[in-house]
């Protein structure tokens, strides 16, 4: 069965996602094997609800409510379905609900990084973007921009750090500061979804178990 067909047989996968996967280096056999392994590991967790919250509880930073909201709807052994359901649920929230998600995110290079109280996922993401080794000047600029951003919009600046680096992040923050609040709320949520995409991939393809909240 071609990979495309395989995905379509699974639950409601949108076409652009299939295109993305087809162009990636993961082949059909590999995906099937990973899915089977993963399914059996979920079944072995015993109590299904608790197992799923253990594994997927932090795919959106500190928002297990979202995982809890979608779990009955989807076959969790299919990673694209997880992502689609998360995205739909987030889109269904009011603006204040979306703002709530952004406010659960830590500042980049902020208080939680300094205190060592980041979740493991955030720690890895910020570290990979070089934010754990800024010089004092770089740190001051970033903190200053973050503060301006929070004062203007009332929520945290969120960016998928793993797809960026410290210089791009500062540029992006500078540029996004010019946006209007509605547009910026949407930009933040788009970034949350990118982070979620990578975290789900980490679980399915690298066997990482997220922070238990």
- Please state, in angstroms and rounded to a whole number, the distance separating the CA atoms of residues 108 and 83: 24
On whether the CB atoms of residues 192 and 101 are closer than 8 A, the answer is yes
**Active-site residue, 206 included:** no
Return the range that interacts with a copy of itself (CB under 8 A); candidates 5-13, 31-39, 94-102, 185-193.
Answer: 94-102
Q: What is the DSSP letter of 47?
A: S
Of 28-87, binders to a copy of itself (CB under 8 A) are: 47, 49-50, 53, 62-73
Question: Is residue 94 near a copy of itself by the rule CB under 8 A?
Answer: yes
- Please state, in angstroms and rounded to a whole number, the distance separating the CA atoms of residues 135 and 147: 18
Shortest distance (Å) from residue 4 CB to a copy of itself = 29
DSSP 114-130: HHT-S-HHHHHHHHHTT
Question: Is residue 144 near a copy of itself by the rule CB under 8 A?
Answer: no
Contacts of 54 (CB under 8 A, 6+ apart): 45, 209, 212
Question: Is residue 168 near a copy of itself by the rule CB under 8 A?
Answer: no
Between the two ends of the chain, the Cα-to-Cα distance in Å is 39
- Residue from 77, 87, 156, 164 touching a copy of itself (CB under 8 A): that is 156
What residues make contact with a copy of itself under the rule CB under 8 A?
47, 49-50, 53, 62-73, 89, 92-94, 96-97, 99-104, 107, 110-111, 117, 150, 154-156, 212-213
């Amino acid at each position: 069965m071609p990979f495309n067909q395989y995905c379509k047989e699974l639950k409601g996968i949108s076409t652009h996602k299939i295109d993305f996967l087809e162009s990636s280096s993961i082949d059909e056999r590999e995906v099937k094997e990973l899915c089977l392994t993963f399914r059996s590991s979920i079944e072995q967790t015993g109590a299904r609800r608790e197992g799923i919250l253990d594994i997927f509880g932090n795919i959106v930073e500190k928002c297990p409510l979202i995982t809890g909201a979608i779990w009955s709807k989807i076959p969790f052994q299919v990673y694209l379905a997880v992502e689609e359901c998360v995205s739909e649920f987030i889109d269904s929230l009011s603006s204040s609900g979306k703002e709530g998600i952004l406010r659960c995110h830590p500042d980049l290079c902020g208080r939680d990084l300094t205190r060592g109280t980041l979740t493991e996922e955030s720690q890895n993401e910020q570290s990979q973007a070089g934010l754990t080794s800024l010089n004092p000047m770089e740190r001051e600029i970033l903190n200053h921009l973050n503060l301006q951003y929070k004062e203007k919009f009332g929520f945290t600046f969120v960016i998928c750090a793993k797809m960026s680096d410290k210089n791009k992040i500062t540029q992006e923050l500078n540029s996004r500061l010019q946006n209007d609040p509605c547009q910026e709320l949407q930009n933040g949520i788009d970034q949350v979804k990118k982070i979620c995409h990578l975290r789900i991939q980490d679980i399915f393809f690298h066997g990482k178990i997220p922070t238990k909240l």
